[in-house]
A and B are shown apart, each in its own frame.
Chain A
Amino acid sequence: MAAAALLSLLVLLLLGPGVWGQTEPPRDSLREELVITPLPSGDVAATFQFRTRWDSELQREEVSHYRLFPKALGQLISKYSLRELHLSLTQGFWRTRYWGTPFLQAPSGAELWAWFQDTVTDVDKSWKELSNVLSGIFCASLNFIDSTNTVTPSASFKPLGLANGTDHSFLRYAVLPREVVCTENLTPWKKLLPCSSKAGLSVLLKADRLFHTSYHSQAVHIRPVCRDARCASISWELRQTLSVVFDAFVTGQGKQDWSLFRMFSRTLTEPCPLASESRVYVDVTNYSQDNETLEVYPAPLTTYQDVVLGTRKTYAVYDLLDTAVINSSRSLNLQLKWKRPPGNGGWEVGSRSPHRLQRVQLVGKTHSPASSPREAPPTPFLYAQRYVSGYGLHNGELSTLLYNTHPYRAFPVLLLDTVPWYLRLYVHTLTITSKGKENKPSYIHYQPAQDRMQPHLLEMLIQLPASSVTKVSIQFERALLKWTEYTPDPNHGFYVSPSVLSALVPSEVAAQPVDWEESPLFNTLFPASDSSSYFVRLYTEPLLVSLPTPDFSMPYNVICLTCTVVAVCYGSFYNLLTRTFQIEEPSKGGLARRLANLIRRARGVPPL
């Protein structure tokens, strides 16, 4: 009996690892992807996505062995009972009007939003600790997130992953518009990648090139997703995204062609060995129509067609795991080339062709064509602009312009405004006008500010009529801060974080339902709603508002002078003005004096 037991134990020990390896599917996987998109303005956008999926219940089990999933983030999830975490660090501003709708925009500065599990009792405390820990991980000033810039939006930020309850009291959202993003933030972000920047697509992430761009945004998104089609258990998904926009004028010397080497000063040599998928997508929708002038080199082996952001797009696909792609020349340097040499500079050729001009006019206000830089590029269906109006240091007005350029479809937009407490909003002055008429929002959530405690929160659901400009304006008064509350550069001004627009924009082409796991990563950032519209979240530019600022150069002198003036001049003048002068007749005197006079009279001496 004992021998049998011993034998079975031995067998188990011998077979153990093998059995484990066979029965357990690979618990985590990595997919990496780069999308190169020519923008309507002629610039080029590159979006990296690295997606690590881990089939593990991080919260329930005591996980100690981490393979692809970064341990720093994994421990965060279990320690703070996170359900979702979204952090983005951005330098620059995505110009939707000129660059079209982005896959994923982020506000300039730092943005952090997180959903906590409903088991968390003190959400604010966890939020505070979480932001401090993230501040350490990403070398960013996230520790400046406190109650004065944290809000709990009621409708704008829904969980992006698997969720079975959306009680928004477990949501926290904060933006730091003043945060400057630089190499020190990129390095810790790169360290989270399984291949770091040694192999795969991440070799392109050279800091000196990435920060020579017009827009740089890096983000981390953690969310739970269904493990399989039945969705019986969950997996954790970590998406690290990085978007950059290369300025065609600066990097391309004014030409429309580009190459990986010119953009990143690197070429691709090998896929990341840990990745199960490593692909480069190039948006060739416009190039294929312009076949006579432009071509992507090397020629793609496969193409991929899908409806992305409401329009039909064609992508050239380069699979780095496919040996044919890399082995032909030991390195892959994707480039866009002119088929025939341009006549007089790159810009002119495209625009001079009459066929092209005609097409641009026909298409009008749609997403698709990269028009020549000589004309204003076609506008996306939804974009926004925000500014401070008025002058002087007493009052002002925050105005947001929402453009709906769709020729015949109206659609609703959720607008979220977070305004710091030192701008005292006059809510009764809130006006929303579209096409000269008042536009009543169907939903308003307003949470007034408390001085030094919490910011204003204003959320509205506004219906944007077709081809219209909607102006949302609200007046404010600038508060006078205590003199220790000013930032180190008080005359620079104070930042107001951008408005957030969340909308379901009507599609031009109905999208087919896609398989979540099979489709490329850029198409699965937001959960798909229905086929007739697509979800867009846009941010406006942050605002810089100057507050009345005291002269900090010599406060001591000023205090002394003021006190002297008040004490000496005011005091005596007040005294002089309020006092009445009367000449007092010498009185007859008291009893003692009368007595003395009596005695003096008796003595024959003149009285006192």
Chain B
Amino acid sequence: MGLLSDPVRRRALARLVLRLNAPLCVLSYVAGIAWFLALAFPPLTQRTYMSENAMGSTMVEEQFAGGERARSFARDFAAHRRKSGALPVAWLERTMRSVGLEVYTQSFSRKLPFPDETHERYMVSGTNVYGILRAPRAASTESLVLTVPCGPESTNSQAVGLALALAAHFRGQIYWAKDIIFLVTEHDLLGSEAWLEAYHDVNVTGMQSSPLQGRAGAIQAAVALELSSDVVTSLDVAVGGLNGQLPNLDLLNLFQTFCQKGGLLCTLQGKLQPQDWTSADGPLQGVQTLLLMALQQASGHPHGAHGLFLRYRVEALTLRGVNSFRQYKYDLVAVGKALEGMFRKLNHLLERLHQSFFFYLLPALSRFVSIGLYMPAAGFLLLVLGLKALELWMQLHEAGVGPEEAGGTPGSSPPLPAAQRVGLASLVAPLLISQAVGLALYVLPVLGQHVAAQHFPVAEAEAVVLTLLAVYAAGLALPHSTHWVLSTQAPDRSWMALKLVALIYLALQLACITLTNFSLGFLLAATMVPGAALTKPSGPRPLCAALLVLTSPAATLLGGLFLWRQLQEAPLSLAEGWRLFLAVLAQGVLAHHTYGALLFPLLALGLFPCWLLFWNVLFWKR
């Protein structure tokens, strides 16, 4: 630190930063991207290992043999469901009671802020059914959950059948130390949210539901099950939860242990596990999985019913049976045995799952990247913003001093009081206006949907999306409106001040996002940083404008969608992509209102106004 307090050396350092700024920025950006892509390669990925002692050494012997029973339960369930058209609550209650569970129901209703066109629902009301297996000799202080979400499109009847057959098998065992809750929710995620809120007796999303009659203490872990066929070729595991939260890595390790033990084919993000990590093939496949996971985590959308449990500090994951054209198939017994093994090991837990990582990236099911290793990638990207801000700050302070003078007379005090004053006064208007646009983007679509639907020939859901796009586009006209309120003195210094503020604002936001949801922070940084660094009123304005528009949050979202489908080997055409984009916008707003997803407010209230500042800088009147 002596380096900084010595005026002479400080000046030398400053000159270095000023002169080498551009190459340093490029280097840092490239290093960040390269680091991220290198995460899938062996020195950075490690083999996963079980950290929790209670689940490690003790192998359990699975005895589940209720395949036939599961299938007959599934058939009955499907038949009753077809007959009633909704969740057969009475049948479920009767069946759960007959296998010896304590059965309760919970009815809920929710009016969505606007009609959900993807799932075709608006006024939703349904009933959750759950049965509690009471552990003998335990006082219901802890519990595990096996949840089966039943939606309008995914009947999930085999999962219900398997859960009931497992319940019947578990009920006859005497070794349970934690209660086990078998939960069947209607309207998939909405039902899960209603049940979780009622279980914890909170109301976060404005759900109306009847209070729960039966509880079983603190939930330690949860597994969501989705099966839609009697046989499966592979089991896919989903870890990403609401707002990019991840379950403790030990839960995934547990699943993987039983995959290996039962010889099941298990996939992550629908991708098979690469076998060979020594050559480049394995890691290259790992990069794809890693990117898929990053995109999925960045979306902040729960990737299964388990995603909502994570908010309540319940470690959870979703198992999804996949039935593809592969030759070798597994029946329900194999899946049941894996679940039985997992529950028996979770039953051994003395403490909550806490030993292993909560922040990680997965290039494959058996490989992970820990937080200490992936953070530098985002750090390098954010360093660009820092360097740019430093450069601007120095330029602002030494603008009145010529370079040779500044170097020659270290004694003169450089900051000119007049120069500083100019910057601050002219910053207020653009900052306020861009934040106001952000607020409008957040509030108007849902508030104004009825007005829009009355005056234009569109439905409410379309109105929301179109209002969203309209406000977004209107924001682009901001530079022309802010000029009305701006004083014109010292335009050079004021755009620099504005850009400085915008850079710091962006860096702070991205740093905060990266800490909680690395993927989102990294993707946003990777796209927004070059535009933010390059923007200035001079130079090739159309080129810069094109770059900025292409890296705006909405364009990032669109690009992410294309990349996502490309990686899933289901590429989108342009028209499809646009339709999907509109649907995703509506889903994003809905997810915020129904589950409390934070991506929409984050983009609308945080990053879009910040991006507008750069847009403003670009079109600064000179």
Interface residues, chain A, with chain B CB atoms under 8 Å away:
91-93, 95, 98, 108-109, 177, 211-216, 247, 249-250, 254, 347, 373-376, 385, 387-393, 397, 399, 489-493, 495, 541-546, 549, 572-573, 575-576, 579, 581, 583
Please tell me if B19 contacts chain A, counting CB pairs below 8 Å: no
Task: Known A212-B174, A544-B217; judge A391-B200 contact (CB<8 A).
Answer: yes
Please tell me if B490 contacts chain A, counting CB pairs below 8 Å: no
Option from B140, B313, B350 in Cβ contact (under 8 Å) with A492 = B350
B interface residue count range (under 10 / 10 to 19 / 20 to 34 / 35 or more): 35 or more
Q: How far is the CB of B120 from chain A (nearest CB, A)?
A: 31
Q: How far is the CB of A507 from chain B (nearest CB, A)?
A: 26
Contact B136 A213 (CB under 8 A): yes
Nearest 7 interchain pairs by C-beta? A389-B201, A572-B1, A108-B139, A491-B351, A93-B139, A583-B411, A544-B141
Q: How far is the CB of A106 from chain B (nearest CB, A)?
A: 11
B355-369 interface code vs A (CB 8 A; 1 in, 0 out)? 000000000000000
Contact A214 B172 (CB under 8 A): no
Contact A373 B100 (CB under 8 A): yes
Contact B142 A544 (CB under 8 A): yes
Please tell me if B312 contacts chain A, counting CB pairs below 8 Å: yes
Contact B352 A491 (CB under 8 A): yes
Q: Please, could you name 11 A-B residue pairs with CB atoms under 8 Å apart, sorted by A?
A: A95-B134, A249-B171, A249-B172, A374-B94, A391-B311, A489-B351, A491-B351, A491-B352, A492-B352, A546-B218, A576-B4
Task: Known A389-B202, A576-B1, A581-B5; judge A374-B97 contact (CB<8 A).
Answer: yes
Residues of B within 8 A of A397 (CB): 201
A387 to B141, CA, bound (A): 9
In the complex, what residue of chain A is closest to B103 when comparing beta carbons? A376
Task: Known A374-B97, A391-B311; judge A250-B352 contact (CB<8 A).
Answer: no
A249 to B215, CA, bound (A): 21
Contact B350 A373 (CB under 8 A): no
A336 to B213, CA, bound (A): 33
Residues of B within 8 A of A213 (CB): 136-137
In the complex, what residue of chain B is closest to A178 when comparing beta carbons? B141
Residues of B within 8 A of A545 (CB): 218
A108 to B411, CA, bound (A): 78
Option from B98, B100, B141, B215 in Cβ contact (under 8 Å) with A542 = B141
Residues of A within 8 A of B214 (CB): 385
Please tell me if B116 contacts chain A, counting CB pairs below 8 Å: no
Task: Known A98-B102, A374-B94; judge A92-B137 contact (CB<8 A).
Answer: yes
Contact A576 B5 (CB under 8 A): yes
Contact A214 B352 (CB under 8 A): no
Residues of B within 8 A of A573 (CB): 1
Contact A387 B100 (CB under 8 A): no
Contact A93 B140 (CB under 8 A): yes
Residues of B within 8 A of A376 (CB): 97, 103
Interface residues, chain B, with chain A CB atoms under 8 Å away:
1, 4-5, 7, 94, 97-98, 100, 102-103, 134, 136-142, 171-174, 200-202, 213-215, 217-218, 311-313, 350-352, 354, 410-411, 413
In the complex, what residue of chain B is closest to A213 when comparing beta carbons? B136
Task: Known A491-B351, A493-B352; judge A579-B5 contact (CB<8 A).
Answer: yes
A388 to B201, CA, bound (A): 8
Residues of A within 8 A of B311 (CB): 391
Option from A212, A249, A544 in Cβ contact (under 8 Å) with B218 = A544
Task: Known A373-B98, A492-B350; judge A91-B137 contact (CB<8 A).
Answer: yes
In the complex, what residue of chain A is closest to B352 when comparing beta carbons? A491
Residues of B within 8 A of A247 (CB): 136
Residues of B within 8 A of A347 (CB): 98
Contact B136 A391 (CB under 8 A): no
A248 to B424, CA, bound (A): 78
Contact A93 B138 (CB under 8 A): yes
Contact B7 A581 (CB under 8 A): yes
Contact A385 B5 (CB under 8 A): no
Contact A391 B312 (CB under 8 A): yes
In the complex, what residue of chain A is closest to B313 when comparing beta carbons? A391
- Kindly count the residue-residue contacts between A and B in the assembled complex, taking CB atoms under 8 Å apart: 111
In the complex, what residue of chain B is closest to A573 when comparing beta carbons? B1
Residues of B within 8 A of A546 (CB): 218, 313, 352
Residues of B within 8 A of A579 (CB): 5
Contact A388 B136 (CB under 8 A): no
Contact A541 B136 (CB under 8 A): no
In the complex, what residue of chain B is closest to A397 when comparing beta carbons? B201
A495 to B141, CA, bound (A): 9
Residues of A within 8 A of B140 (CB): 93, 541
Residues of A within 8 A of B215 (CB): 385, 387
A213 to B413, CA, bound (A): 85
Q: How far is the CB of A251 from chain B (nearest CB, A)?
A: 9
Contact A92 B138 (CB under 8 A): yes
Residues of A within 8 A of B138 (CB): 92-93
A349 to B165, CA, bound (A): 22
Contact A250 B5 (CB under 8 A): no
A203 to B106, CA, bound (A): 46
Contact A374 B137 (CB under 8 A): no
Residues of B within 8 A of A373 (CB): 97-98, 100
Contact A250 B351 (CB under 8 A): no
A215 to B413, CA, bound (A): 82
In the complex, what residue of chain B is closest to A469 when comparing beta carbons? B211
In the complex, what residue of chain A is closest to B51 when comparing beta carbons? A553
Residues of A within 8 A of B98 (CB): 347, 373-374
In the complex, what residue of chain B is closest to A211 when comparing beta carbons? B137
Residues of B within 8 A of A215 (CB): 136-137
Residues of A within 8 A of B312 (CB): 391
A213 to B201, CA, bound (A): 32
Contact A493 B218 (CB under 8 A): yes
Q: How far is the CB of B556 from chain A (nearest CB, A)?
A: 31
A244 to B354, CA, bound (A): 36
Residues of A within 8 A of B200 (CB): 389-391
Residues of B within 8 A of A214 (CB): 134, 136-137
Q: How far is the CB of A397 from chain B (nearest CB, A)?
A: 7
In the complex, what residue of chain B is closest to A98 when comparing beta carbons? B102
A399 to B202, CA, bound (A): 12
Contact A250 B136 (CB under 8 A): yes
In the complex, what residue of chain A is closest to B5 when comparing beta carbons? A576
Contact B137 A250 (CB under 8 A): no
Q: How far is the CB of A161 from chain B (nearest CB, A)?
A: 29
Q: How far is the CB of A108 from chain B (nearest CB, A)?
A: 4
A393 to B139, CA, bound (A): 23
In the complex, what residue of chain A is closest to B198 when comparing beta carbons? A389
Residues of A within 8 A of B217 (CB): 387, 541, 543-544
Contact A250 B1 (CB under 8 A): no
A389 to B142, CA, bound (A): 14
A581 to B142, CA, bound (A): 62
Contact A489 B350 (CB under 8 A): yes
Q: How far is the CB of B100 from chain A (nearest CB, A)?
A: 4
Residues of B within 8 A of A489 (CB): 350-351
Contact A388 B351 (CB under 8 A): no
Residues of A within 8 A of B313 (CB): 391-393, 546
Contact B172 A250 (CB under 8 A): yes
Residues of A within 8 A of B136 (CB): 92, 212-215, 247, 250
Contact A543 B141 (CB under 8 A): yes
